[in-house]
Structure 1
Amino acid sequence: MQSTPATTTTKYPDKPITVIVPFSAGGGSDLTARSLEKLAPTYLGQPLIVVNKPGGAGAIGWNELAGASPDGYTVGIAAIDMLLLPLYGSTKYDYPTALEPLVQVAAVPQVLAIKTDQPWRTLPELIEFARNHPGQLKFGHSGVGSFSHILGEMLCQVGGVTIEQVPFSGAGEVTTALLGGHVHFVFVNPMAAKEHVKNGTVRILAVTGEQRMVDPILAKIPTFKEQGFDIILKSWFGVAVPKDMPSEIKSKLAEGFKSIITDPEFTRNMSNFGLPVEYLGPKESQANWLADSQQLTKTLQDSGVLERIKAQKK
């Protein structure tokens, strides 16, 4: 590809930059974009225009981003879901190769939650029960092939257990099903469980991060790893751009976003939303995309979920 003459990028950016959010308002992707938007004029020299393009589990927004001109005036919010969708064979683009990461903004571990009226006090106790009673435990998740579903499949694999899957149409329904006693355990965002932990209705047995969480209410929860279960995977949000963006523009954007993300005001805003800031630059983000993609693909193949999804689509 020919290098772009320097004259085309010296003034960049000289107009507002559109940010495509592939989900509706109020979710993690949207809150990330709105937080970036507040500080963009200071660090990018132009405002960000946030455009929500929900639908197709993120595919509509990511398709638009992948097909956009790589001129630096269209960027999008990336999330771990974009590694999953192409595996199911239902997308126009292979997002990990059609898009390039600029930065990772935040990473959120998931937690395994049960109701406090259940007898299990620890993760090993839950797994032991599952081994002794195959298929009796019900696990609620937000749809076949969703991130929470895959975490449940990982648990089955590393724990050597068989569990009944109960799919719902979203994370809100999953928490409601747990509180109603319709399922025995769920994987959810810590913020979805925090208030229920405070009021004593929910107990959390494990967290999927490398370390324990810093939130004082959740800080005592052990990781899966320290309990002998090799599950380390976080849901993350970042900024991605169409492939083949000129390197000068990409560098300028990456530096601008880094300055926003490392601003204490931004960190505070994100913390208030329950989104812990975890900055990674372009190269580190790319390595993270690759590692997570390999882990998710392996789980989907080993569990047979990938075959099931593809069979359903035929």
Structure 2
Amino acid sequence: MRRRHLVQLAAATLAVASLGVQAQSFPAKPIKLVIAFPAGGPTDITMRQLADNAGKILGQPVVVENKPGAAGSLPAQLLQTSAPDGYTLAQIPLGVFRLPYTTKINWDPVKDISYVINVTGYAFGIAVPADSPFKNWNDFVAYAKANPGKLSYGSTGTLTSPHLTTELIAQKLGIQLNHIPYKGSADLATAIGGGHIMAMADSTGFAPLVQAGKVRVLNTWGEKRLEKFPDVPTLKELGLDVVQNSPFGIGAPRGTPPEVVKKLHDAFKQAMEEPSYQRALAGYDMVPIYMDSAQYTRFAQETFAREKALIEKLGLAKPN
């Protein structure tokens, strides 16, 4: 028994030592960063800039891979089957924290992810085509009240923040809308440009469409008006007590060595401070929202509880 115990102890010591060596030499090869939305949208563009900056700091490329769909949860799901070595990272949008309440999964969004760093958050709003008869938010609401279920709007996917927040707005106003989900901002922009939907709920991925004269913004969802759209009222100004900015960051598989998490955190924090990244964010009225690993973990715990309340309020919880 004593001999077996010593062998097990030696094996455990070797494993810990091996992890220490790996952490010291990390990274020794390219790192994959999986993001939750398609190429060409604001998340893809800003995260590619961040990844490029971080790769230069780490001395190895950080390669972005797009995995859109499933309310932005596919990258987080991928972490559950990836080695905890720091070479597979994922964007963690807010939709991840809703998963256990809306679908059956065999992992825990709080406990089964190593939270590395929060990097930014979205600025959201509702926009309509430039030639829409809805000149302002009152027009939108009046039509919806007169035509229940006929006003179609697109979002970046079922159970994403744009979808759920719009449904919360509709519930507060007593209106019924027709939701049409897309895989991301790029697809949504194509849909509204082609006249397939009457409105869009999105992050300010619609900013280039506004600049091109293709859409008009009716409201935004932050605490205060956006610098890029100073004439557009917030939901709070319109009498709705709703604020949504949906912070997101980067996670690694559960069990990733703390030394590796720290190295990744430090590199991405430095990458966030680069002017190139801040310029990329500014193009979509996004700003750096920094949380270190401990703060981001606490945010995950708090958000997990808060999203349960929202899902239940909207009647979208999965049956037991």
TM-score by length of 1: 0.79
Q: How does 1:265-280 map to 2 (within 5 A)?
A: 265-272=276-283, 275-280=286-291
Q: How does 1:93-104 map to 2 (within 5 A)?
A: 93-104=107-118
If you compute each CA radius of gyration, which structure gives the higher value, 1 or 2?
2
CA contact (8 A) 1:101 1:286 kept: yes
Match of 1:289 in 2: 300
Q: How does 1:134-173 map to 2 (within 5 A)?
A: 134-135=148-149, 137-159=151-173, 161-170=174-183, 171-172=185-186
Q: How does 1:194-233 map to 2 (within 5 A)?
A: 194-215=207-228, 218-233=229-244
**What is the CA–CA distance in structure 2 between the aligned matches of 1:92 and 1:27, rounded to whole Å?**
30
**What is the CA–CA distance in structure 1 between the aligned matches of 2:62 and 2:213, rounded to whole Å?**
41
**What is the CA–CA distance in structure 1 between the aligned matches of 2:175 and 2:161, rounded to whole Å?**
19
CA contact (8 A) 1:99 1:243 kept: yes
Match of 1:19 in 2: 32
CA-CA distance at 1:125 after TM superposition: 5.5
Task: Flag the 1:157–1:70 CA change in 2: closer, same or farther, 3 A.
Answer: same
1:262 corresponds to 2:276: no
CA contact (8 A) 1:106 1:236 kept: yes
CA-CA distance at 1:36 after TM superposition: 2.7
Query: Per-residue CA shift, 1:121-148, capped at 9, x if unaligned?
Result: 5435544554566545443334443332
**What is the CA–CA distance in structure 2 between the aligned matches of 1:58 and 1:234, rounded to whole Å?**
16
Amino acid aligned to 1:266: Y
3-state secondary structure, aligned to 2:45: helix
Match of 1:110 in 2: 124
Of the three residues 261, 265, 272, the one matched with 1:250 is 261
**What is the CA–CA distance in structure 2 between the aligned matches of 1:55 and 1:141, rounded to whole Å?**
12
**What is the CA–CA distance in structure 2 between the aligned matches of 1:166 and 1:222, rounded to whole Å?**
23
**What is the CA–CA distance in structure 2 between the aligned matches of 1:65 and 1:209, rounded to whole Å?**
31
Amino acid aligned to 1:67: T
CA contact (8 A) 2:49 2:276 kept: no
1:88 corresponds to 2:102: yes
Of the three residues 82, 102, 111, the one matched with 1:68 is 82
CA-CA distance at 1:165 after TM superposition: 1.7
3-state secondary structure, aligned to 2:175: coil
**What is the CA–CA distance in structure 2 between the aligned matches of 1:27 and 1:198, rounded to whole Å?**
15
3-state secondary structure, aligned to 1:36: helix
CA contact (8 A) 2:88 2:252 kept: yes
3-state secondary structure, aligned to 1:77: strand
Match of 2:6 in 1: none
RMSD, aligned α-carbons: 3.5
Match of 2:60 in 1: 46
Query: Per-residue CA shift, 1:205-254, capped at 9, x if unaligned?
Result: 21112232222xx2332221233212211244421112233333322321
**What is the CA–CA distance in structure 2 between the aligned matches of 1:213 and 1:300, rounded to whole Å?**
28
TM-score by length of 2: 0.77
3-state secondary structure, aligned to 2:128: strand
3-state secondary structure, aligned to 1:26: coil
**What is the CA–CA distance in structure 2 between the aligned matches of 1:195 and 1:255, rounded to whole Å?**
32
CA contact (8 A) 1:111 1:189 kept: yes
Task: Flag the 1:83–1:20 CA change in 2: closer, same or farther, 3 A.
Answer: same
**What is the CA–CA distance in structure 2 between the aligned matches of 1:283 and 1:145, rounded to whole Å?**
27
**What is the CA–CA distance in structure 1 between the aligned matches of 2:136 and 2:99, rounded to whole Å?**
33
Task: Flag the 1:141–1:57 CA change in 2: closer, same or farther, 3 A.
Answer: closer
| More displaced 10-residue stretch of structure 1: 204-213 or 266-275 | 266-275
CA contact (8 A) 1:209 1:223 kept: yes
Query: Per-residue CA shift, 1:256-291, capped at 9, x if unaligned?
Result: 211111122322244356654332222332343344
**What is the CA–CA distance in structure 2 between the aligned matches of 1:271 and 1:295, rounded to whole Å?**
28
CA contact (8 A) 1:21 1:33 kept: no
**What is the CA–CA distance in structure 2 between the aligned matches of 1:184 and 1:281, rounded to whole Å?**
40
Task: Flag the 1:162–1:90 CA change in 2: closer, same or farther, 3 A.
Answer: same
**Count of aligned residue pairs for this structure pair:** 305
CA-CA distance at 1:48 after TM superposition: 2.3
CA contact (8 A) 2:73 2:93 kept: no
Task: Flag the 1:154–1:64 CA change in 2: closer, same or farther, 3 A.
Answer: same
CA-CA distance at 1:187 after TM superposition: 0.7
Question: Kindly, what percent of the aligned residue pairs are identical?
Answer: 25
Amino acid aligned to 2:254: K
CA contact (8 A) 1:138 1:183 kept: yes
Match of 2:5 in 1: none
